[in-house]
Copies of this chain bind each other. A is one copy, B any other.
Amino acid sequence: MVSLNIDVTRQVTMADVETTMIDLLAYDDGVMAQAARHHLGSGGGRARAILALQSAHALKLPFETTRAISAACELLHNASLVHDDLQDGDTVRRGEEAVWKKFGSNTAICLGDLMVSAAYAAIASAPVDRMSEMIARMHKRVSDVIGGQHADLENDCTTIAEYNEVARMKSGPLLGLPVELCLMAANFSDHVSAAMAASDAIAIAYQTTDDISDVERDIEVGGLNFLMVVEGDMTSRTLAARLHAAEYSRAAIEIAKTLPYGSGHGLIALAEKFGPLLAIGEAA
């Protein structure tokens, strides 16, 4: 009986999340399974799974619910990476060949589709009362992120407000979703909009920080970049980007602090990566 107790109460690990993802994708030993293993096996920070694990732990969600939310969000994110790489023509992902480059465009399209489907299969395995509501939320955030990816591809931002809108839609939805779903599963739906606001602000801070290192490539390919929507020489544009990131990072932290039982802790840790300390440290 002791072993049963240990099994039931143990925390979800990243290995559990990886196993859940692969089980939902690699139903045979064909090319699709190989492509799934190649993509997921190449690593990645699993930031969305980590956010889910942290929020779920804070809210004391059951094992299966935690695993389901973590795997669902990470599958959606990886679906977007597989399709984005194809759309953007990026040949390398995490030091390995991108799926479309190694297995062809057709396999990349099929694998992304399979990952979106698997994400919903993952969330449906959660023993929760609010399944309909949680799935509706997932679709809303998928719609948002697809709108963001599309706006990014059609990039024609000329103002900071337009830039913020695209940056927010590009990364905010899938950074917020893990926390939002945990809050819903724990009956804290009233706090979902705060989690969304915090993740939107993180998305803007993240994108702006990223733009500083990507500026040369973005100029070349006409990609979305904060430095292209402000004026001045490159030094002052870079400084403006750091200040912009710091401002949104601070806002995200303040909002995430309001989430119940420390369920915004993961968002705060993420926001701190793009925050004032970094801005000062790197500018020094």
Contacts and interface: CB of A to CB of B under 8 A. Distances in A.
Nearest to A112: B113
Interface string A72-114: 0000000100010011000000000000000001110110111
Contacts of A132: 124-125, 131
A142 interface: yes
Nearest to A151: B30
Given A83-B113, A87-B105, A113-B79, A118 B139 contact: yes
Nearest to A30: B147
Nearest to A109: B83
Interface in A108-149: 109-110, 112-114, 116-118, 120-121, 124-125, 131-132, 135-136, 138-140, 142-143, 146-147, 149
A113 B142 CA distance: 9
B135 A124 contact: yes
Interface residues of A, number: 41
Nearest to A33: B147
A79 B113 CA distance: 9
Contacts of A147: 27-28, 30, 32
A143 B124 contact: no
A117 B138 contact: yes
A23 to B, nearest CB: 11
Contact of A154 (B31, B113, B114, B118): B31
A117 B139 contact: yes
Contacts of A149: 110
Contact of A150 (B110, B138, B143): B110
A149 B154 CA distance: 29
Contacts of A107: 150
A98 to B, nearest CB: 14
A229 interface: no
A153 interface: yes
Nearest to A87: B106
A31, A87, A121 — most chain B CB neighbours (10 Å)? A121
Interface of A: 24, 27-28, 30-32, 79, 83, 86-87, 105-107, 109-110, 112-114, 116-118, 120-121, 124-125, 131-132, 135-136, 138-140, 142-143, 146-147, 149-151, 153-154
27 contacts: A24-B139, A31-B150, A32-B150, A79-B113, A83-B113, A87-B106, A87-B109, A107-B150, A109-B109, A110-B146, A110-B149, A110-B150, A113-B146, A114-B143, A114-B146, A116-B117, A117-B138, A117-B139, A117-B142, A117-B143, A118-B139, A120-B120, A121-B138, A124-B132, A124-B139, A125-B136, A131-B131
